[in-house]
Amino acid sequence: MRRPALYSSSVRPAPARQEVDAASHATGFAAVPVAQPGTAPAPGPTRFSRHWSRLRKQVSFHNIYLLWALAGLLALMLGSSVLLSMQPSQRKLTQADIHAAVLKTLETTVLPSAAAKAYETILPSVVRVVGLGKDKDGKEGERSVGTGVVIVDKGIILTNLHVVRGAETIRITFADGLETTAIITGAQPENDLAVLQAQKIPDDMIAATMRSTADLRPGDQVMAVGFPFGIGPSASSGIVSGLKRNFRSPEGQQEMTNLIQFDAAANPGNSGGPLVTMDGEVVGIVTAIYNPNQQRTFVGIGFAVPIENAASAAGMPPF
């Protein structure tokens, strides 16, 4: 960039002075100003005038750079505003945009099945129940294996009475692996129910949620969770096959009424386990399977005591 000319504010010397200076330069002697007759001698530059001249030069120099700096700043601001005005404005999200995003997520994300969610919900509350007793040689061994479900987080467990009847020791294994013993604190023989109190419980004990069967209908999906033949915890799903069913034990010693019939697979070891909805809520306690040929294997018909009866066995009010 071409630099503007700087102008001095000093007084230009008179021509006569220049001739004298030239003559002095030629002779080698310094020229001494001589006053003209009838005139006063010209005063020389004072200290104040010299300082003022330098100050004006400096102010003029800095003003030029300040002007250029201001001009550059204005150009930058103008350029920024032009760029911002050229950018496209952001479009506001509409409800249609949200619906499209949700639909895309549902189409591209694999969600767990209802049965998987129900199993995950009930699992922390399911326990393995083993009845121990001594054989003829006096050795302690397993006499029965079944399932239980925690209904109060202080360690109150529902199971079948036939799982723990006659056992000298009842051993409980919680979902987190904690093993302890339990005692029978209540029973309801007419519904084959027993209430247990665990001697120890996990620090994060989670009790199951119980749900009324008042709105339960045939065709509703249900799941049975337990330890069939001691294997588990295992899950099997099916539907409610019927309500208010009656069942007589193979030996004819007991008859139960008002049972839930279901077709989720159940076998010995499932006894005392929870029958749950797809929300993981307990609607019944698995208590029996139908065995027309005395094989004690599942043929498609299982029975559960409604949770209202089971809760009353523990002294809890009905729904």
- Catalytic site positions: 162, 192, 271
pLDDT of residue 252: 64
Q: Print the domain residue range for 290.
A: 221-313
| Res. 274: pLDDT tops 70 | yes
- Of the listed ranges 34-43, 62-71, 110-119, 172-181, the one predicted with least confidence: 34-43
For residues 103 and 262, the answer to whether their CB atoms sit within 8 Å is no
Residues 6+ apart with CB under 8 A from 130: 142, 144, 145, 146, 170, 171, 172, 173
Which tens digit of pLDDT belongs to each residue from 176-213?
999 999 999 999 999 999 999 999 999 999 999 999 99
pLDDT of residue 273: 98
Are 225 and 298 in a shared domain?
yes
Residue 247: give its domain's CATH number: 2.40.10.10
For the record, the structure tokens of 132 come out as: 């121990």
Are 188 and 234 in a shared domain?
no
Are 171 and 254 in a shared domain?
no
First CA to last CA distance, the chain = 93
Is 232 a member of any domain? yes
- Of the listed ranges 37-51, 109-123, 130-144, 193-207, the one predicted with least confidence: 37-51
Q: Where are the alpha helices (DSSP H) in 160-290?
A: 161-164
Q: Which of 5-14, 71-80, 219-228 has the highest mean pLDDT?
A: 219-228
Band of the pLDDT at 168, cuts 50, 70, 90? very high
pLDDT of residue 316: 80
Average of pLDDT values for 292-307? 86
Whole-number percent of the chain with pLDDT over 70: 70
Q: What beta strand segments (E) does the chain contain?
A: 126-134, 140-152, 156-160, 169-173, 179-188, 193-198, 221-226, 234-248, 255-262, 274-276, 282-289, 302-306
Is 58 a member of any domain? no
**41 or 120, which is more confident:** 120
Is 236 a member of any domain? yes
Are 194 and 225 in a shared domain?
no
Q: Model pTM?
A: 0.67
| Res. 6: pLDDT tops 70 | no
Residue 167 is classified by DSSP as: -
Is 70 a member of any domain? no
Is 5 a member of any domain? no
For the record, the structure tokens of 193 come out as: 């129910």
Are 247 and 285 in a shared domain?
yes
| Res. 14: pLDDT tops 70 | no
Q: Which of 45-54, 132-141, 291-300 has the highest mean pLDDT?
A: 132-141
Are 165 and 237 in a shared domain?
no
Which tens digit of pLDDT belongs to each residue from 213-257?
999 999 999 999 999 999 999 999 999 999 999 998 876 678 899
Are 129 and 182 in a shared domain?
yes
Is 175 a member of any domain? yes
Is 231 a member of any domain? yes
Task: Output the average pLDDT for the chain.
Answer: 81
d(CA 239, CA 221): 4
Are 234 and 275 in a shared domain?
yes
Average of pLDDT values for 71-87? 64
Average of pLDDT values for 29-34? 42
For residues 193 and 309, the answer to whether their CB atoms sit within 8 Å is yes
Are 263 and 294 in a shared domain?
yes
pLDDT of residue 155: 96
Is 52 a member of any domain? no
Are 177 and 242 in a shared domain?
no
Are 225 and 297 in a shared domain?
yes
Are 192 and 124 in a shared domain?
yes
pLDDT of residue 296: 72
Structurally, the chain folds into a number of domains equal to 2
Residue ending a domain, choose from 145, 165, 198: 198
Whether a cis peptide bond, with omega within 30° of 0, leads into 233 is: yes
Q: What are phi and psi of 285, to 5 degrees?
A: -115, 120
